[in-house]
Chain A
Amino acid sequence: MKFSRKTLGIPYALFLLLFVVIPLIVLFYYAFTNGQGQFTLKNLIGFFTDPNTLGTLFYSLLIAICTTLVCLLIAYPVAYILATSKLKKKAVIIMLFVMPMWINFSLRITALKEILTLIEGNLAYHPFLNSVIGMTYDFLPFMILPIYNTIAKLDPFLIEAARDLGADERKAFLHVTLPLSVPGIVSGISMVFLPAMTNYVVLDMLYNSTYIMGSLIGSYFSAYNWHGGSMIALVLLGIICVFTLLMGGQNEEDARTGGAVL
């Protein structure tokens, strides 16, 4: 057998087939069939007419939006300061932000639970706030790193040029640095927003008893309703696809036009 580069791709193709394509087919099959294995659109209609799924979708979106906003508000200044400052020990500070990721996620949330209990007293009074704090704590590095990388790679001469042309610091930031760091923001958002919609473990561990999408799917499965659960998963997949396409479109445009628009 002739060894070519394509041969190297075989394991990858196999992996894709086994763990992406086949599960997707199964998902589609369950989502569009009923208990007797007949084709039905009932699950799809059920999703958009059931106040429970809609309420849960709303709640998940709310949590995800808040988490993303908070992450962005914290991460951007941090990344900006780190990337532009002349600090000698920058690497150490970056490390401090990334290090929590080396520790197991549920351990971190357990620790956070104790800290929040110290501050708030009784966690049960602020379930929504706690969920957002937990998710932010969990996902913050995913927001900082891409933004930091983009800003750090910016050509410093661009800023200098802007300053030479009479822009003050605020203007230079708003018209040069910020637009050029959009790709970093976009990838940060997609790494935070999507998991925040379904990561119900954080809610469970921080005593938020309201379902989000992940827990709702679980509750369907434990009631043996795989068809309804699969449909929820599928719709969620659809939402994520649309979201990614929108974001991706933005990114490509930026790449084409060269990013900074003055």
Chain B
Amino acid sequence: MKRIIAIIVALLLVAGLFLSALQPLLAEEDEVVLRVCSWEEYIDLGDWGEDEVIDLESGDIFGENSMVDDFEDWYYETYGKRVRVEYSTFGTNEDLYNMLTLGDVYDIVCPSEYMIMKLMAEDRVAPLSEEFFDTSNELNYYIKGVSPYIRRIFETHDINGVTWDKCAAGFMWGITGFVYNPDVVSKEEASTWRLMENRDFARQITVKDNVRDTYFAAVGALKHDLLTSEEFVNDPNYAMNLQDEMNDVSQDMIDQTQEYLQGIKNNLYSFETDSGKADMITGKVVANYQWSGDAVYTMDQAEEDDYYLNFAVPEESTNIYFDGWVMLKSGLSEDPDKQHAAEAWINFLSRPDNAVRNMYYIGYTSTISGGEDGRIFEYLDWLYGAEEDEEDVVDYPVGYFFTEDGDDTDYTLTVPAEQLDRQLGAQYPSPEIIRRASIMIYFNEQQSEVINRMWIRVRCFNIKNVPIAVWILLIVVFAGAGFLMARSRKLKKEI
């Protein structure tokens, strides 16, 4: 009897092995595999609690399953074809670039604007198809719903003559600034990049550990007087001049930033990659240089402990950034099915209810304003709108984001005044802040190298700073070790 059972088990095992080996072969017939690579924690994974329903008047929005599963189901229901998403993540734009260079293959990825420019410049990106831009197709949620403000930026910026919008579809966007503790730091103090050098908060401020963000902040602090002068701000070409100034990579400027950063290094708590959010919440630091999406997340988390943090945007300039989907030539390899699935992926994420789900889940701001679909604005009102009996309320115009001409009064929220310095101000910055937002362009290879070297010099230990006591200690240690070794050898020889 035992023998028979053993044989059956063995047979089952063998059969199982065969089946699992065969599975990919069987599946390939009628299934498109879409390899997606995006930022960590940058998409709704579903599984919301029941109290998290977003009950808009036009219907509830609720994240039951992960966005990836929902997309697979939606694609099958809509196009009658199975798609399987292989979803992977990356930690930084540079990591993604290294992964791609070392041979990882993806069909669609979601880097930041400067990395999109780099990939475009290197001819790795496949352009979006004409159908993608067809506004008459109901399922083209992206082109129908993308904010006119974002679309304009994508249409007016180019790399080697190709505008961004030809190849990239925005996913999330935001600005940079400081999350701060209003009990310790005043709004005025936090509203300048010079906060980093403020001795009153010595070793209580964290700054991003990444060369582009720190460079931008240092340039802002160094050019404070120019950037805030009346003459500069009121110039008709303000936007263009601002972008030129903030992207100044002349050798002189790089030298100055190096000196500046080396000078403030000892005034900071640390350069951080990920710990800043937690340290802000636990009160280890009083201000943290943050991307607006993470700022929203930080403020939300702190609020759960009845701890209120604010967000300030430096008066000199703020860095407006975008993360967008681009399709890679190496992945698609001109397979029309894959391209169709990739573009459907963008469109599915751009459907207003899905955009809301992602925003709610990760704290960043979607590039989608919804077009004719009013659910994004409805969500904003649901999230930030003042209660009827609230007293200290203000009107907050966000028309620049939702409409072509920007001053449509239909898109004005009535919100508690405090929200201006809090989540709303970070997630949907006011028009005055948007006015001083500057893009940080992609630096070419020589420029990047010079800036990277500068950054390494800032971070490395300067051997000239070694105090004499340390040299003496070192000599003593080495001499001692040498002496002991020599002595023990001598003793052994004597025996």
A58 vs B464: C-alpha distance when bound (angstroms): 11
Q: In the complex, A204→B268 CA distance in Å?
A: 14
Please judge, given known A-B contacts A179-B488, A253-B492, whether A207 and B456 are in contact too, CB under 8 Å.
no
Interface residues of B, dominant DSSP:
helix
Q: Are B268 and A52 in contact (CB under 8 A)?
A: no
A125 B462 Cβ-Cβ under 8 A? no
Residues B459 and A205 in contact, CB atoms below 8 Å apart:
no
Q: Does B200 contact A (CB under 8 A)?
A: no
A117–B284 Cα distance when bound, in Å, is 8
A55-B463, A56-B460, A59-B461 in contact; A209/B448 too (CB < 8 A)?
Answer: no
User: For residue B210, which residue of chain A has the nearest CB?
Assistant: A222
Inter-chain contacts of A220 with B (CB < 8 A): 456
Contact B203 A211 (CB under 8 A): no
Chain B residues numbered 446-465 whose CB sits less than 8 Å from any CB in chain A: 448-449, 452, 455-457, 459-464
Contact assessment for B268 and A55 in the assembled complex, using a CB-CB cutoff below 8 Å = no
CA distance A253 to B489 in the complex (A): 9
Q: Choose, from B93-101, B171-179, B410-418, the stretch at the interface.
A: B93-101
Distance, CA A216 to CA B268, complexed state (A): 20
Any A CB within 8 A of the CB of B129: no
Query: Do the beta carbons of B459 and A250 come within 8 Å of each other?
Result: no
The bracket for how many chain A residues form the interface is 35 or more
| Contact mask for chain B residues 481-492; partner A; CB cutoff 8 A; 1 contact, 0 none | 000010011011
Could you tell me if A56 and B461 are in contact, using CB atoms closer than 8 angstroms?
yes
Asked whether B463 lies within 8 Å of A222 as measured between CB atoms, the reply is no
User: Which of B39-47, B269-277, B344-352 contacts the other chain?
Assistant: B269-277
Report the interface size for chain B: residues with CB under 8 A from the other chain: 40
Is A223's CB under 8 angstroms from B452's CB? yes
- CB contacts (< 8 Å) of A233 on chain B: these are none
CB distance from A97 to the nearest CB of B (A): 26
Whether A207 contacts B269 by the Cβ 8 Å rule is yes
In the assembled complex, the Cα of A54 lies from the Cα of B455 at a distance in Å of: 16
Nearest chain B CB to A232 CB, angstrom units = 11
When the two chains form the complex, which single residue of A124, A182, A205 contacts B275, counting CB atoms closer than 8 Å? A205
Query: Which B residues, 101 to 133, have Cβ-Cβ distances below 8 Å to chain A?
Result: 101
A sample of 27 inter-chain contacts (CB < 8 A) reads: A51-B464, A54-B463, A55-B460, A55-B462, A55-B463, A56-B461, A58-B461, A122-B204, A123-B269, A123-B284, A124-B203, A124-B268, A124-B270, A204-B273, A207-B272, A209-B459, A210-B460, A216-B460, A219-B455, A219-B459, A220-B456, A222-B94, A223-B94, A223-B452, A250-B485, A250-B488, A257-B492
Inter-chain pairs besides A209-B209, A211-B461, A261-B488, 5 sampled, C-beta below 8 Å: A59-B461, A216-B460, A222-B95, A224-B97, A253-B492
| Residues of chain B whose beta carbon lies under 8 Å from any beta carbon of chain A | 92, 94-95, 97-98, 101, 203-204, 209, 265, 268-273, 275, 284, 448-449, 452, 455-457, 459-464, 466, 470, 474, 477, 485, 488-489, 491-492, 495
Chain A residues within CB distance 8 Å of chain B: 51-56, 58-59, 62, 65, 69, 117, 122-125, 179, 182, 204-205, 207-211, 215-216, 219-225, 250, 253, 257, 261
